[in-house]
Amino acid sequence: MTHIWQGLRSGEWLTVARMRAYSLILLGLSVLVFAGWIAVSDGLIDRNGQPIGTDFSNVYAAGTLTWQGRSADAYEPALQHAAEKAMFDGRDVPFYGWHYPPFFFAIAALVAAVPYAWGLAIWLAASFAAYLAAIRAILPRRETLLVAAAFPAVFVNVGHGHNGFLTAALLGGALHWLDRRPWLAGVLIGLLAYKPQFGILIPIALVAGGRWRTIGAATATVAALIAISFALLGSGIWHAFADSMNFTQTVVLEQGGTGWQKIQSIFSAVRAWGTSVPVAYAAQATLFAALAATLAWLWHSDAAFELKAAALALGSLLATPYVLDYDLVVLAVAIAFFARHGLRHGFRDFEISLLAAAWIVPLLSRSVAGVTFIPLGLLVELALYAFVLRRAALDHASHAVGAHRVAQA
């Protein structure tokens, strides 16, 4: 037992060879599972009666409605569901809601310009490539692409045909370019507004860090997106979006229409334990306040940029009450930045083992929460966030001691 504990503390158990082997095994098994899943499907409908790509069907349906000049119908659940059924010859597929701001109709229209299967394949391939490029830019090592491709959140995202790759690519790319090209970073952050719940902490970090050019570029990008959507779709589309937010908040989030085990937030965890909506919001607000305060401190400090970036990626996941397990692709950004810092300056106790836990947790989080009501994904994210802050404090103390010794000498 002592040997195991020491191994977890030092992280010596996770050699490069083992990391590659684990990644190859998981990647191979996942490919086989997906191949079998498609092989036993009835055309575009799987054995569970769901569309291949599940949630992607809401994007494709919204795009189809856009081509028909009926974009606003995507925000009406009954009309959106009817469009989804029509895509599959009237089969009674489950409803997948459209909850995105109007400027995301651009992506929906693009993927709906080709048949469904091609649209899904193009969407996943393009966004996956962008995700890999961002992680490889953050951590330019030989094994990065393999480990990033085998990251379990990748398989969750592929299974849902979702946008976790795009979210991770935009946030990871923005953080990668923040020092080199602040205006480009701002544009990428502005594009991230397609999922606004993941951007609520970004202004706090940027202001604390004095990143004014990036703030200006992000603001200009969002303003341009809104103006273009007004010009192409009319003002009514924003009214429809605003009206739909009540359904999203009450049915999807507060009543758990998506499933408590899928949502990886403290709000969902508290609701799953049987508490009231106000108590769940209070828990989320308390966590948000703690995140905002610690992020502001960290980004205003002289801590290493890798730690600031890792904390912001983690905070973006923790701050919102509506974060699903496929969104945990963003965890790869935090892992990559924290790993980069450790590889450059050495790892401290338990850091390697905790990074490994964060890497594997998307594979387990939904099933564990569904059976035990333990929010494993949330707990690992909180632990990793605490370790990032701890590392920043320890590094600061080490630098202070070193400076003191130099001054004495």
| pLDDT tens figures, 193-247 | 999 999 999 999 999 999 999 999 999 999 999 999 999 999 899 999 999 988 8
Does pLDDT of 407 surpass 60?
A: no
- Asked if residues 288 and 305 have their Cβ atoms less than 8 Å apart, the reply is no
- Asked if residues 110 and 63 have their Cβ atoms less than 8 Å apart, the reply is yes
CA separation, residue 7 to residues 2, 10, 351 (Å)? 9, 5, 12
More confident residue, 18 or 247: 18
Query: Strand pairing partners for 42?
Result: 45
The mean-pLDDT minimum among 26-35, 159-168, 244-253, 293-302 falls in 244-253
Cα separation, 277 vs 271, whole angstroms: 7
Does pLDDT of 1 surpass 90?
A: no
Torsion sign (Cα): 173, 154, 198, 113 = positive
**DSSP states along 338-407:** HHHHHHHH---TTHHHHHHHHHHHHHHHHHHHHHH---HHHHHHHHHHHHHHHHHHHHHHHHHHHHHHHH
- Asked if residues 130 and 165 have their Cβ atoms less than 8 Å apart, the reply is yes
Cα separation, 130 vs 170, whole angstroms: 8
What pLDDT, on a 0 to 100 scale, did the predictor assign at position 180? 94
Cα separation, 172 vs 175, whole angstroms: 5
Per-residue pLDDT, averaged over 315-326, amounts to 94
Question: What does the mean pLDDT of the chain come to?
Answer: 93
3-class secondary structure, 324:
strand
Side chain identity at 187, as an amino acid letter? V
What pLDDT, on a 0 to 100 scale, did the predictor assign at position 361? 95
Contacts of 145 (CB under 8 A, 6+ apart): 132, 135, 136
pLDDT band at residue 5 using 50, 70 and 90 as cut-offs: confident
SS (H, E, C) 80-97: HHHHHHHHCCCCCCCCCC
Does pLDDT of 398 surpass 80?
A: no
Does pLDDT of 2 surpass 80?
A: no
CB atoms within 10 A of CB 403: 10
CA-CA-CA-CA dihedral for 300, 301, 302, 304, to nearest 10: -90
Give which of 253, 256, 281 is closest to 370, Cα–Cα.
Answer: 256
- Asked if residues 342 and 352 have their Cβ atoms less than 8 Å apart, the reply is yes
Give which of 196, 154, 187, 188 is closest to 171, Cα–Cα.
Answer: 188
CB half-sphere exposure, 61, CA atoms < 13 A: 34
CB atoms within 10 A of CB 18: 11
Side chain identity at 313, as an amino acid letter? A
What pLDDT, on a 0 to 100 scale, did the predictor assign at position 65? 97
3-class secondary structure, 42:
strand
Return the structure tokens found at 298: 């960290």
Torsion sign (Cα): 89, 93, 95, 99 = negative
More confident residue, 398 or 246: 246
| pLDDT tens figures, 97-121 | 999 999 999 999 999 999 999 999 9
Kindly provide the residue ranges of all beta strands, DSSP E only, lying in 109-219, ordered along the sequence: none
